[in-house]
Each structure stands twice: as C-alpha cells, then as structure tokens.
Structure 1
Amino acid sequence: MGVVNVTADSFADRGRFLAPTAALTHAHRLLAAGADVVELGPRPVILAPSR
C-alpha cells in the first residue's frame, strides 16, 4: 500500500503533492514500485459526537 498525502500540513512530505499532477505522478511511482493500493490522503477529519 502506498499513501499520497495531499495536504499542505503533511509532516511526511511537506505538501509536495498538492498539485493534482504531482499527486498522480507519485501515485503511479508507488504502483510501479509494487503498491497494490494507493490511498490519497486528504485533510484529517475529526468527528464530533452529534447532539
């Protein structure tokens, strides 16, 4: 599995894959390197309990 972080505050890549073409290019590299699944990681969501 490969992960492409597409957020500006990513600690792992410092926002290198914000542009769609950069994210897709990296995803293709991960697949070529053997990843079976590539996850595009958006901004984290914190769920609040409903009231």
Structure 2
Amino acid sequence: MDFGLVLLLLGGFLLGGAWSIWRADSDTEGRTGPQVVFAVILLTAALLASVSGILYLV
C-alpha cells in the first residue's frame, strides 16, 4: 500500500475523531474549553496528514 494512501486514511480517521469530539457536547453546559482545544488539534492534524498524503501522491 502506498504511503500517501496511508496518510489520507490517517487524515480521515483524525477528521472523524475531531467531528466526534465536537458533537459530544453536554445539553446544559455546551462545549467545554478542553473539548474545543482537542477538537481543533485533531482537525489540524487531520488537515496536515491529508495534505501530506495528497502531496506525496503527486
């Protein structure tokens, strides 16, 4: 399997994790600060992995 495809799969996995954390808010309190920070970190990692995978394939 090509390394670029592995990076794309990793990016999709991290994107799903960021979406899962973003959607897991409390009905009364909303999203907490650490929850938002972790979701942003995962989103950034997902974007970096996806872009790296695309550039590796090109």
Q: What TM-score bracket applies, with the shorter chain setting the length?
A: 0.3 to 0.5
TM-score scaled to structure 1, two decimals? 0.39
Larger proportion of strand: 1
TM-score scaled to structure 2, two decimals? 0.35
RCO comparison, higher one (Cα < 8 Å, 6+): 2
Larger radius of gyration: 2
